[in-house]
Amino acid sequence: ETGVTQTPRHLVMGMTNKKSLKCEQHLGHNAMYWYKQSAKKPLELMFVYNFKEQTENNSVPSRFSPECPNSSHLFLHLHTLQPEDSALYLCASSQDEGSYEQYFGPGTRLTVT
């Protein structure tokens, strides 16, 4: 596979469930990102990892927990979510953190019921 992949593509979960989103990049990049995209709102940066180290946590609630075991893989663990967390969750990668273009995965459409 090439580029940035995300699984699952769609997820429906209850407020008491625990689930995880997975992202994998095949570009040899060092930086990976999680974004949230809600309807008619700008992309919201959630987390940034550079060389597996978290460099940004944009005041994200603790019910979202990221994990980056290596530069190619990024997870977002979800628990006790709220209906307002329903959104498109996008993973992206770039050569390094900073002034580089980012490449996005297809996203996971999350619905919290």
Partner 1 sequence: QKEVEQNSGPLSVPEGAIASLNCTYSDRGSQSFFWYRQYSGKSPELIMFIYSNGDKEDGRFTAQLNKASQYVSLLIRDSQPSDSATYLCAVNRGFKTIFGAGTRLFVKA
Residues in contact with partner 1 by CB under 8 A are 40-43, 45, 48, 55-56, 90, 97-107
Cα distances from 26 to residues 2, 7, 23, 94, 103, in angstroms, run 6, 14, 10, 11, 11
Nearer Cβ to partner 1 (1/16): 1
19: left (phi over 0), alpha (psi -120 to 50) or beta: beta
| Nearer Cβ to partner 1 (17/103) | 103
Cβ 43 to partner 1 shortest distance, Å: 4
Least Å from the CB of residue 16 to partner 1: 29
